[in-house]
Structure formats: structure tokens, C-alpha cells
Amino acid sequence: MSILHQFALTNKVVVLTGGAGLFGRQLTLAIAEAGATLVIASRHREQLEQVAAEKPGFPIACEPFDQGDEKSILQLRNRVLAKFGRVDGLVNNSVARPMKSLADPSSAWEQSMRVNATGAFLMTRAFGKVMREQKQGSIVNIGSMQGMLGPSPELYDGTDMGLPPPDYFFHKGGLINLTRYFASLYGQDNVRVNCISPGGFFNHQPEPFLSRYHKRTMLGRMADENDLGGAVVFLLSEAARYITAVNLPVDGGYTAK
């Protein structure tokens, strides 16, 4: 197989959770363009269908599910298998953000963990079981550089953004090591598990934040809608066939500076 063909996802069935969100839309478009038969899943099917409509002619299926409910996760897996007969890739991208500040009630923390920690574990276990039986597959977890670092309060001074809440740092940090756990467990069955940790994504943040953030990166900018898809497609593809247990920062050099 030529090197360019190794980067393609032709004939692969890939499941992407959270396919309509800030990261999900660009990942949907990238994975579809790479040739995969793609299943995008979230709680809001109508939003998924709007994203899928942006790529007419591409095989994109939309499936509703709730990552906070194990029964819903298993039903999603079973529907994918009934329709396609296999799963070659899983991108754990869904995230819930119920916690808004450190002062929020513990119920917000518990809701966050049910989706972002327990749910990510259940997705990886359920779909990983299928991949192990197939003796091949690739799982890509979408982490965050906030799972690698503490917060930087100085970035937020003079803005109304507020410091990010602690739950995000907790479950994204855990996701990185959960990646290593499953990579070790699944590797003997030719299933790779990796994580990417994106940096900040431009979403019309206020100027004081932007200018400070840009100075913290080596590339002098935040990520945009073209910056994550390549890394995810690579890790799903045969070009990364000897890469597992990696946490890849996609942050413009922020965490290395």
C-alpha cells in the first residue's frame, strides 16, 4: 500500500461522538473526506443532520444516544453493528459542561463525571470489545491541554469569561491515563488507543484574552476549524499502525513553551 493510501480511511467504519459541537463539526467533515463510512452520534439528532447535510454524497449516518446512560451506549453499539457489521474506529469526542464555576453544587460535578468520565470509559469498553474480537481497530480520545496543565488565571484578567471550572481539568487529565490503560489492555489484539489534547479554540473570545493567549503559543494563534481533523484522521489510519498510548498535544506549542 502506498504511503498516501495509508492515510485514507476508505472501507473503515468510524463512530464519532459529539459530531455537531465545536470540535465535532470539523472532525465530521475531515473523517468523511478521508473516505470513512461515518456514524456521528449525540443527544441532538437534528443538529447532527445539519452537519451531515454539509457533505452531500458522503456516507454519514446520524444516531441519537446519551453518553450518560450505559443502556444508550450499548444500544448505539448494537445499531452500528446491525447496520454495518463492524467498527474500525471510535472517536470519543462527546463532552458535557454542566459545571460553570468552582462554586457550583456537587450535583454539577457528578453530572459532569457521569458523562465525561464514566461515559468515556463505557464507550471505550463497549466498542473496544468489538474491535478486540475483530483483531483490529483504533480509538482516539479527544482530551485537552487542560488535562496536562493547571489553569492560567492571568489570561482571564479584565474579561468576563471567568476561570474554567475544575471538573474539566479532572476528567481530561484522567482521560489521558485511561488512554494508556486501554492501549496496554487492547494492544495484544491489534487495537490502538491514543489521545489528542487540543489547545484553545478560537470562538470570538474578548481581545485581552486573545492577545495574551497568542503570546503563550509558539504559532501565535488559537486553533481554528482546520487544525484538529488531520491529527485524528492520522491516528485512525493505517499510517499510524505502530502508534498507541500516545497523548498528542495539538496546541500550537502552548504546552511546550
Asked whether the beta carbons of 116 and 167 are under 8 A apart, the reply is yes
Residues in the chain: 257
Biggest CA-to-CA distance, the chain:
55
- Print burial letters for 165-179: b (CB count within 10 Å at least 16), e (below 16): bebbbbbbbbbbebb
**Backbone torsions φ then ψ of 124, nearest 5 degrees:** -65, -40
Distance CA 167, CA 172 (A): 8
Distance CA 110, CA 114 (A): 6
pLDDT of residue 55: 79
DSSP letter (8 states) at residue 159: S
pLDDT of residue 21: 83
pLDDT of residue 141: 98
Q: Provide the domain count of the chain.
A: 1
pLDDT of residue 54: 86
Residues (pLDDT < 70) of the chain are none
190 C-beta neighbours (distance < 10 Å), count: 15
Q: Spell out where 72-190 has E strands.
A: 89-92, 137-142
Cell numbers standing for residue 89: 474506529
Cell numbers standing for residue 58: 458522503
Burial class (CB in 10 A: 0-12, 13-18, 19+), 75: middle
Cell numbers standing for residue 104: 457550583
**How do residues 157-189 score in pLDDT, each as one tens digit?**
999 998 999 999 999 999 999 999 999 999 999
Cell numbers standing for residue 93: 469526542
DSSP letter (8 states) at residue 223: B
pLDDT of residue 16: 98
Fill in the amino acid letter for 76: L
- Print burial letters for 229-244: b (CB count within 10 Å at least 16), e (below 16): bebbbbbbbbbbeeeb
Asked whether the beta carbons of 209 and 156 are under 8 A apart, the reply is yes
Cell numbers standing for residue 1: 500500500
In the chain the first and final C-alpha atoms are separated, in Å, by 38
Distance CA 116, CA 20 (A): 17
The CATH code of the domain that includes 145 is: 3.40.50.720
